[in-house]
Amino acid sequence: MTAPGERVVVRAPAKINLALRVGALEDDGYHDVVSVYQAVSVFEEVSASLPRDGVTGVTVSVRGTGAASTPLDGSNLAVRAAHLLAERAGVPADVALSIRKSAPVAGGMAGGSADAAAALLACDLLWGTGAGRDELERMGAELGADVPFALMGGTALGVGRGDQLTPVLARGEFHWVLALADEGLSTPAVYRERDRLLADAGEQAPALDAEVPGGLAQALRSGDAAALGAALVNDLQDAACSLRPALRRVLDLGRDHGTLGSLVSGSGPTVALLVPDRSAALELAVALTASGLTSDVRRVTGPVHGARQVDAVAPSPFHPSTGANPTVR
């Protein structure tokens, strides 16, 4: 166990969906999915410290992108992760969590899931619980479908609820421009809109094959960005665009600027646009910024590693005991 007063810092990546196929609504209220995830260079950072001055329980403070709209109570996925690990390991749930956010809240990039993944690993290292990656991934799946992938990173196929993962070989580096929105989209609302659009059209959700769709696998194996762009697919895209029509203008702008492919990531509203290289990424980022269609633009690459320890030092000035809005749960 880390000595009192020290801290463990873990970073976990956000994701985009290279493919998202959505099955029919099941009796339990969920949809089975087949998803191909790619971890990209947008990292959530969680610092875990043993509390000072006799404080017990889990404290959390947040800074960075969307900090004002990130919950500080027991609904925060990082807080839930700490409690879950403590319960399974039989140790006191005493930890001060500091979260530095980079991914948009409710943006379809699983930023909250990355927080949970980082908190699981950070608390495991801090408390010395000795949980292996497989065990952490199983706990992560209880917290949310995207949490196991934030632990794994890279590129992976997810089936079931998206949490049953198989690594996918991806050669080379892919360049993405992310167009972020100033307001998130509710994932349940997007799924409901998907069901409504299918019903209105008299169509049924497709039967799902538990494999990487179409030419996506070959494109990833060969590192062929143009082929990857042609294979991108998201069954939720029409629903997200129905709820947020401005997303179509972002997709149109990307096509006008010669992107290799683009799609709404997950349930949106983040739009991921694939370009051939860094120069093209900069050009597109400038065009998107000038358009006024987005609240923020990021140039990122993928795939990147999953949750990983990056530091273990004495506390920095940013600490729940002195930082903004500490909350004990």
| Catalytic sites, residue numbers | 15, 146
pLDDT at residue number 163: 83
Q: Cα(33)–Cα(205) distance, rounded to whole angstroms?
A: 11
Tell me what the mean pLDDT of segment 84-108 comes to.
Answer: 93
* 46-69 pLDDT per residue, tens: 999 998 877 889 999 999 888 888
Residue 170: partners with Cβ closer than 8 Å, 6 or more residues away: 38, 154, 155, 220, 221, 223, 303
pLDDT at 319 over 50: no
Domains, the chain, ordered by start: 7-168 (3.30.230.10), 174-302 (3.30.70.890)
Model pTM score? 0.88
Maximum CA pair distance of the chain?
Answer: 63
Is 116 annotated in a binding site? The answer is: no
* 146-185 pLDDT per residue, tens: 999 999 999 999 998 888 999 999 999 999 999 998 888 9
Of the candidates 186, 179, 156, the residue with the CA atom closest to the CA atom of residue 272: 179
pLDDT at residue number 324: 34
Which amino acid is residue 234, in one-letter code? N
Tell me what the mean pLDDT of segment 135-149 comes to.
Answer: 95
- Counting residues of the chain whose pLDDT is more than 90, the rounded percentage is 73
Is 113 annotated in a binding site? The answer is: yes
Is 130 annotated in a binding site? The answer is: no
DSSP state of 273: E
Residue pointed to by tokens 């690993």 = 121
Query: How many Cβ atoms from other residues are within 10 Å of residue 48's Cβ?
Result: 28
Mean residue pLDDT of the chain comes to 89
* 215-248 pLDDT per residue, tens: 999 999 999 999 999 999 999 999 999 999 999 9
Contact in structure between 265 and 16 (CB atoms under 8 Å): yes
Contact in structure between 307 and 213 (CB atoms under 8 Å): no
Is 68 annotated in a binding site? The answer is: no
Residue pointed to by tokens 């990056």 = 310
